[in-house]
Amino acid sequence: MTTAVLDAPAASAAQSVAARMKPVSRSADTLFRWLCLGMAVGVLALVVLVGWQLWSGAQSAIHKFGVGFLTRSAWDPVQGEFGALPFIYGTLVSSLLGLAIATPLAVGTAIFLTELAPNWLRQPIAFLTEMLAAIPSVILGLWAIFIMLPLLPRYLFPFLKKTLGFLPLFQGPTYSAYSMIAAAIIIAIMILPIITSVSREILRSVPDLQREAAYGLGATRWEVTRIAVLSYAKKGIFGAMILGLGRALGETMAVTMVIGNTPKIAASLFQPGYTLASVIANEFAEATTDDYRNALIAVGLVLFGVTVVINLLARLLLKFGNTQTGAVH
Amino acid sequence: MNDQPAALPETSVKATLPASAYMNSPDRGAPPPAASQPKPAIDARNVNIFYGQKHAVIDVTLGIPTKSVTAIIGPSGCGKSTFLRCLNRLHELIPGSRMNGTILLNGDDLYAPTVDPTVVRRRVGMVFQKSNPFPTMSIADNVTVGLRLNGVRDRAFLRERTEDALRKAALWDEVKNDLGKPGISLSGGQQQRLCIARAVAVQPEVLLMDEPTSALDPIATVKVEELMNELKRNFTIVIVTHSMQQATRVADQTAFFYLGRLVEYAPTRELFNNPKQKQTEAYITGRFG
């Protein structure tokens, strides 16, 4: 009896609360869904559109030059000879060399920031590394021309010749500082921030339990970093490298300013070269004939293709690595 | 603490363990040890631990007898895990932590200025709350990683140690055909036993366990508890646990921590059946914690 008395006001309260609530509406939910879908489709469409535009723009060049466009190394607009091989070579070599220089620096910085640096030092260094990404490409190029290039023939080239001169890569004359090496160094500087900050996030995501497991076994700092941190994070670090490589392939301004812009394939890294991105930036404005313009658009298509292929290869490698170690992440 | 007067009532004399092995804080009083009693494996005296301004462990004096299981119980934040971690200097990884007092491991001062913490951790192994095998290593490599860190390269010896450690961890029969598989392919309970094998492979003098079964299901928990009973024949075990039932099942003696202090330390049965301190009684009867 008492419960009935107690229940009555509770029930009416529940009723009044329900009465005040709006009926469930799905319209906002539906709008939200379609809006997000639209944006995702938009991004996808943009990629497809760019690819299609390049493809159709390059059609006449493809018809005219055929597959030979990719394998010929002569680039002589005056004679109407167009071969993209020197640019493909220059792009791949400068990017991979830049990646090789940048990766140890970036991973070392990331390890220092997550494992070794005292707390008060972490933020400032991380900030400065990311500031590097904010420097406009053309400013870096100017710095390279005025400061870096004069130093190369004086210090770096003789040193490389002396220590690694047995390799064809480091032979030949060194009279000009405009070279593949200069381009690789500038690329390394430009991709350093992205590799560092992504690696840092990856290292930070390594659970402390992993570190404690290693410390608990009596590991030193270096051993902890090696067995618990780096082996856990190596796939993520590889991913960071691929992001960096993606940037390197398309890097244009600063590279153009230091690579020497010579469409030749030279064995020596002391020699100048040319990249796919640089040749488009340099020559598009002065491309007077239709063939010339179409050839440059085809170069753009090749750059697009190289980037896509490299990213696909990286993904395959990651997948392959996964099945190898059987790790679940 | 030899100058402390005997203040414990008669019942403690009947304890199965030498009283000196579980010396209480000075203010609780402890009986003078008899001359024939064995030395404790770990002898902690007046241990204080600070994290910045926080005084996490306050003046704890505790002797841990060799080749037995000692449980540390108490509510969350009572300093029990911190105390456990100072036994292998793992708390030093937290910036701003300070410790004073003395901890002797079989007579050696773990905090002497010349002692390298990595050497301490090779003598005092640890098993953590969540199993943490190295994900990129095989089962066998996980077991031998501690030995390999110490420069052991002899493959035959490593194989022999792998089997021995896995047998000690009661895991050998389950994994002997899968030693090359990744350690994280095992189930949760197996992973925790793998971590135990990894810790015992280097033959530490003391094995610390920080709530080792809190992430395990009841069946896996029973297995780990049975394992502790086996392991104490060879090792000195200190376990921190949230579960009082677990303490009664596995521990020879139990220490109750509250608000950073050691409140009571006695043979397990005695602590649970006949607690001397009001706080202990309140905690074990579920009135707080």
Residue type, position A6, single letter: L
Q: How many angstroms away from the CA of B82 is the closest CA of chain A?
A: 14
The tally of domains found in chain B comes to 1
Residue A40: pLDDT over 90? yes
What would the pLDDT profile of A219-229 be if each residue is shown by its tens digit? 999 999 999 99
**Residue B167 is assigned to a structural domain of this protein:** yes
Q: Minimal Cα distance from A227: which residue of B? A: B134
Strand order in the sheet with B206-210: B124-127, B206-210, B236-240, B69-73, B253-258, B261-267
Q: Is the pLDDT of residue B159 over 90?
A: yes
Q: Which residues of A touch B141 (CB under 8 A)?
A: none
Closest Cβ opposite residue B134 in set A118, A227, A328: A227
- Residues of A within 8 A of B128 (CB-CB) are 209, 212-213, 216
* Contact (Cβ atoms closer than 8 angstroms) between residue A272 and residue A180: yes
- Give the pLDDT score at B287: 79
Verify whether the Cβ–Cβ distance B132 to A326 is below 8 Å.
no
Query: At B57, is the secondary structure helix, strand, or coil?
Result: strand
Question: A212 contacts in B (CB within 8 Å)?
Answer: 90, 93, 126, 128, 132
Q: Is the pLDDT of residue A299 over 70?
A: yes
CB-CB neighbors (< 8 A) of B149 in chain A: 217-219, 223, 227
Give the minimum alpha-carbon distance from A211 to chain B in angstroms, rounded to a whole number: 9
Is B256 a member of any domain?
yes
pLDDT tens digits, A154-212: 889 889 988 998 888 888 887 788 999 999 999 999 999 999 999 999 999 999 999 99
Query: Could you tell me which residues come within 8 angstroms of residue B232 by beta carbon, excluding any fewer than 6 positions away?
Result: B67, B68, B69, B252
Inter-chain contact B121–A217, Cβ cutoff 8 Å?
yes
Q: How high does pLDDT run on average in chain B?
A: 86
- Identify the contact set of chain A against chain B, taking CB-CB distances under 8 A: 118-119, 207, 209-220, 223, 227-228, 231-232, 234, 325-329
Q: Can you tell me the mean pLDDT for B137-143?
A: 94
8 Å CB contact between A123 and A215: no
Contacts of A210 in chain B (CB under 8 A): 132, 134
- pLDDT category of residue B146 using cuts at 50, 70 and 90: very high
Domains of chain A: 50-328 (1.10.3720.10)
The token pair at A94 is 């400068």
CATH number, domain of B88, equals 3.40.50.300
B49 occurs within a structural domain? yes
The structure tokens listed for A34 are 């379609």
Q: Is the pLDDT of residue B34 over 60?
A: no
Q: Is residue B1 part of a domain?
A: no
Of the candidates A201, A194, A202, A203, the residue with the CA atom closest to the CA atom of residue A244: A194
Does residue B33 form part of some domain? no
Distance from CA of A132 to the nearest CA of B (A): 30
Alpha carbon of A328: minimum distance to chain B alpha carbons (Å): 8
Residue B11 lies in a domain: no
Q: How many residues does chain B have?
A: 289
Beta-carbon contacts below 8 Å between A and B: 78
- By Cβ distance, the residue of A218, A231, A327 closest to B149 is A218
The amino acid present at B58, given as its one-letter code, is I
C-alpha dist (Å) from residue B254 to A169, B173, B249, B264:
70, 32, 11, 8
Within-domain flag for B122: yes
pLDDT at A48 over 70: yes
The percent of residues in chain A predicted with pLDDT above 70, rounded, is 93
Choose the mutation target among B84, B110, B124, B134 for the interface with A, i.e. most A CBs under 10 Å: B134
Nearest-CA distance A115 → chain B (Å): 11
Nearest to B134 among A118, A119, A228 (CB): A228
pLDDT: which is higher, A322 or B217: B217
Partners of B118 on chain A (C-beta within 8 Å) are 218-220
Most B-contacting residue of A120, A217, A220 (CB-CB within 10 A), to test interface: A217
Q: Is the pLDDT of residue B255 over 60?
A: yes
Give domain status of residue B152, yes or no.
yes
Q: What is the pLDDT of residues A194-205, one digit of tens each?
A: 999 999 999 999
Cβ separation A217–B136 shorter than 8 A: no
